[in-house]
Amino acid sequence: MKKGIIVTTVALIAALSIATASQAATYLSIATGGTSGTYYAVGGALASAVTKGGKIQCTAETGNASVANANLIATKGIEIAFVQNDITHWAYNGELMFQGKPLKNIRTVASLYPENVQVVVAKDAGIKSIFDLKGKRVGVGAPGSGVEGDVQAIFKLAGLTYKDLKKADFLDFAAVTSRFKDNQIDAGFVVAGFPTASIMDLTTTKDVDLLNFDDAFLAKLHKAYPFFVPSTIPAKTYKGIDKDTKTPAVMAILITNDSVPADQIYDFLTAMFDNLKDIAAVHAKGKEITLKGALDGLTAPLHPGAEKFYKEKGLIK
């Protein structure tokens, strides 16, 4: 009799273990960016915070930043991705690098933090304004990247083209740093939350500055492209840059595909916002992620799971 009870108990425990395992078997991956960018650092912390919630096993993967991530989401290559809100606007509406190919199946999940357009300039290059880039060697972002999209928008407003430059170099963040170290460029665009690891590394070995944008240009840029907002990088964010720097900024946001189940996105957001302190402890940008700002600057429709979450939090009706 006792043997039967033991066997039954063991079978019950095994059944419960299988049920528990199946309940915990929701896996979501987040596409971030290169290892030298902010997406990578914040994405790793975010994945750990979501996993801590207990309902989702979340992993962060390196990615090729906004444009590639938008395409990855649209083709169901990954469940969640970091992108800039300007890229989301262009992707959803089929503009610029997405010309004629709108990605109508992407949905927004949350707005995270501002990403500044950081124009790193050699201090001896005589570059004091955006117009001084004429005749200079300039890193304009990787081909077809979000950085290059922002450069195109800014150049258009400034009346500049790549032909006005001595050389337009299509470089990612790490390559910008490398070219500066080798004295091969005079300026380079980086669009990322500050402090950016590649710029921090650069300022330890090279005498560089950040380009300051005047208020009139920032206002004009915002009027032409509302996803650009005026922002300021505080003095001493980087070694040797001892003054505040005014720059345009876009928002880093999370997007997903409309086919991802609503309950998974709902559980993802619940865990993320329950464990924001863990994200903030890893990177300074994590401190800027708030529930209050979760809907700021979203440029595509909300995912139904996100909509349910924000309705319960009273952010939308």
CATH number at residue 212: 3.40.190.10
Closest CA to 115 of 246, 249, 227, 13: 249
Instruction: Region of 144 please: left (phi>0), alpha (psi -120 to 50) or beta.
Output: left
77 within some domain: yes
- In the predicted model, what is the mean pLDDT of residues 223-245? 93
121 within some domain: yes
Same domain, 179 and 211: yes
> Which of 250, 277, 295 is the endpoint of a domain?
250
* Residue 254 phi, psi dihedral angles, 5° rounding: -110, 135
Say which residues have a Cβ less than 8 Å from residue 45's Cβ, sequence separation at least 6. Answer: 278, 279, 281, 282, 283, 286
Q: Under a CB-based contact definition with an 8 Å cutoff, are residues 90 and 97 in contact? A: yes
Q: In the predicted model, is pLDDT for residue 317 greater than 90?
A: no
- In the predicted model, what is the mean pLDDT of residues 277-292? 94
Q: In the predicted model, is pLDDT for residue 89 greater than 80?
A: yes
Same domain, 122 and 229: yes
Same domain, 88 and 189: no
Same domain, 146 and 295: no
Domain ranges, residue 78: 24-113+252-312
Q: In the predicted model, is pLDDT for residue 42 greater than 90?
A: yes
Tokens of 237: 């964010």
Rounded CA separation 20/290 (Å):
32
Q: Tell me how crowded residue 161 is: count the other CB atoms within 10 A of its CB.
A: 11
Q: Which of 15-19, 65-69, 188-192, 212-216 has the lowest mean pLDDT?
A: 15-19
pTM for the model stands at 0.80
Q: In the predicted model, is pLDDT for residue 31 greater than 90?
A: yes
Same domain, 101 and 156: no
Closest CA to 269 of 256, 287, 288, 285: 256
> Which of 222, 250, 278 is the endpoint of a domain?
250
Characterize 15-42 residue by residue with b for buried, 16 or more Cβ atoms within 10 angstroms of its Cβ, and e for exposed: eeeeeeeeeeebebbbbbbbebbbbbbb
> Which of 216, 235, 250 is the endpoint of a domain?
250
Position 153 scores a pLDDT of: 93
Same domain, 47 and 155: no
Same domain, 238 and 130: yes
Helix (H, G, I), strand (E, B) or coil at 190: strand
pLDDT tens digits, one per residue of 119-166: 999 999 999 999 999 999 999 998 878 889 899 999 999 999 999 999
Higher pLDDT: 2 or 264? It is 264
Q: Taking the chain, what is the end-to-end CA distance rounded to the nearest angstrom?
A: 60
Mutual angle of helices 146-158 and 215-224, in 10-degree steps: 110
Q: Which of 13-22, 32-41, 142-151, 238-247 has the lowest mean pLDDT?
A: 13-22
Give the number of domains in the chain.
Answer: 2
